[in-house]
Amino acid sequence: MEKEVKKVQITARRRFFTSVAQGTGLGIMGGLLWAGYAEKAKGSPLTLRPPAALSENNFLRTCIKCGLCAEACLNRDSNIDRESGKPRPGTLKMAKAQDDATIGTPFFVPTDVPCYMCEDIPCVPVCPTGALDVSLVTDKNGELDFTMMDMGIAVVDPNSCIAFWGIQCDACYRACPLLDEAIKLEYGRNERTGKHAFLMPVIEMDICTGCGLCEKACVTEKPAIFMQPRELALGKPGDHYVKGWDEKDQERVANQSEKDMTTHGKRSQEDPTDYLNEGVSFE
């Protein structure tokens, strides 16, 4: 009898330690997987945030993942489907594990649902922490101005855009809520046919808000116009280069000290008229 009791006790102990070992292993594996995901999500540079979002690092530190912005976006008065009378999918999503963004933070994908640039910008004023800074979309009169939104900027791929092929298409131009302001059509001669014109979309980077309506409207299989965060899509000339004709740009570098920007290469030591006119005959 005593032997049987001891045998049962030993078996129970083995099961206990086995369970502990399995639980510890699963916990460690789960922690490693989560750490890997968190690092990936935070490192995603292409995430498009709601209007008036702070810079990405400050946004992640300030956002408490409450979801009030997404709720306000979904429940806005202009989001009712006219035929069914029910709300349409909201623009803003709260990131889940499978999304390429930090879990619980708001973002949007223009090809799914773009930002419709509501005049009352309902998603911003409800933010309780300032992660969505209402001052960034408030004009001098203290009124909300949807043209001040800055979610990103549209980028056109001329190799895929059929307007650059000579096919008449202005889908992105017509979809833009800032018609003929954020996107303009540039006319050019089609040398291949000799009798047709190109109507090529050109983005006005100071006006484009990155709403994504043009990306959603693009007719190509994969949009030839797409949204990117400004810090990725645009270059930066630096403080040592200035637009001499632009007073505001001169103010930007007013306190900048002088710096020698000479390349000191062979060509930089030559007279420009020598190499620019190389091979040109004036006879």
Averaged pLDDT for residues 155-177? 94
Task: Note the pLDDT tens digit of each residue in 183-236.
Answer: 999 988 877 777 778 899 999 999 999 999 999 999 999 999 999 999 888 888
Q: Based on the domain organization, do 69 and 113 belong to the same domain?
A: yes
Whether 163 maps to a domain, the answer reads yes
In contact, 101 and 44? CB cutoff 8 Å: yes
- Checking if the pLDDT of 37 tops 70, the result is no
- Rounded Cα distance, 213 and 232, in Å: 20
Q: What's the domain range around 82?
A: 45-151
Task: Compare 78 and 114 and report the one with higher pLDDT.
Answer: 114
Point out the least confidently predicted range of 96-100, 154-158, 195-199, 264-268.
264-268
Q: Based on the domain organization, do 111 and 141 belong to the same domain?
A: yes
Q: Based on the domain organization, do 156 and 212 belong to the same domain?
A: yes
Q: Based on the domain organization, do 50 and 137 belong to the same domain?
A: yes
- Rounded Cα distance, 42 and 104, in Å: 12
- Checking if the pLDDT of 40 tops 60, the result is no
Whether 147 maps to a domain, the answer reads yes
In contact, 121 and 144? CB cutoff 8 Å: yes
- Rounded Cα distance, 193 and 168, in Å: 14
Task: Note the pLDDT tens digit of each residue in 84-114.
Answer: 878 888 999 999 988 888 889 999 999 999 9
- Checking if the pLDDT of 43 tops 60, the result is no
Amino acid 148: pLDDT: 96
- Rounded Cα distance, 49 and 62, in Å: 13
Q: How many independent structural domains does the chain possess?
A: 2
The last residue of a domain, from among 151, 167, 192: 151
Task: Decide: pTM greater than 0.85.
Answer: no
